[in-house]
A and B are shown apart, each in its own frame.
Chain A
Amino acid sequence: DAKTTQPTSMDCAEGRAANLPCNHSTISGNEYVYWYRQIHSQGPQYIIHGLKNNETNEMASLIITEDRKSSTLILPHATLRDTAVYYCIVRVAWANFGNEKLTFGTGTRLTIIP
């Protein structure tokens, strides 16, 4: 799987949009971008994933650049409960899920400030 680069930590004011960047310059054409987060003392939680189009769900939006070398996870109205470590992961197409593990980096520690 392609290596990803994320800032070590970020702060965001409560109620504002949190924008978490991720660089994946060596991503292959069949690799998706996945985001997971890990709240303290819990297991990782899936947030969103995408291939090349922007995606949105009830938790977040994912913006992928046209060249697919970077992406941004957007939490539109951050709350204190969004304080967590956010992991950006690239992996091959979902059809191969049965044979593909998730490779985590060290992630971005996002702190939401009251």
Chain B
Amino acid sequence: GAGVSQTPSNKVTEKGKYVELRCDPISGHTALYWYRQSLGQGPEFLIYFQGTGAADDSGLPNDRFFAVRPEGSVSTLKIQRTERGDSAVYLCASGRLDVTEAFFGQGTRLTVV
């Protein structure tokens, strides 16, 4: 597709479970970002990839959160031992150095019950 694709669009999980959220960036985009957005707040930066490597993971809240991008395209955000406070919309964005904007996906709404 032409845009950033995130799957699933909605995920409900039980407290303590493990979840994976997937992001398919726009083809050819080398930069990939994960953000988290709680209700009524702006998106909060989690991690940034340039190619396969995490160039900035300063926004990951703790070691339960981890993200990979093994082939420099698709990325997976992994959350271990989920907590109710992890409930939020997780947004992915991709970009290119010669393009002036970041393109966001529709997000995955994660609900931990």
**Could you tell me if A102 and B102 are in contact, using CB atoms closer than 8 angstroms?**
yes
Q: What are the residues of chain A within 8 A of B50 when measuring CB–CB?
A: 98-99
Q: What are the residues of chain B within 8 A of A21 when measuring CB–CB?
A: none
User: How far is B31's CA from A94's CA once the two chains are assembled, in angstroms?
Assistant: 13
Q: How many residues of B contact A (CB 8 A)?
A: 28
**Could you tell me if A102 and B45 are in contact, using CB atoms closer than 8 angstroms?**
yes
Q: What are the residues of chain A within 8 A of B45 when measuring CB–CB?
A: 101-103
Interface string of B56-100 (1 = CB under 8 A from A): 100100000000000000000000000000000001010101001
User: How far is B91's CA from A46's CA once the two chains are assembled, in angstroms?
Assistant: 14
B25 at the interface (CB under 8 A from A): no
CB distance from B82 to the nearest CB of A (A): 22
Query: How many residues of A sit at the interface, in one of the four size bands?
Result: 20 to 34
Interface string of A89-100 (1 = CB under 8 A from B): 000001001110
Partner of A101, one of B59, B100, B104: B59
Partner of A94, one of B35, B43, B93, B100: B100
9 A-B pairs, CB-CB below 8 angstroms?
A: A41-B106, A43-B4, A46-B101, A94-B100, A97-B95, A99-B48, A102-B102, A105-B42, A106-B41
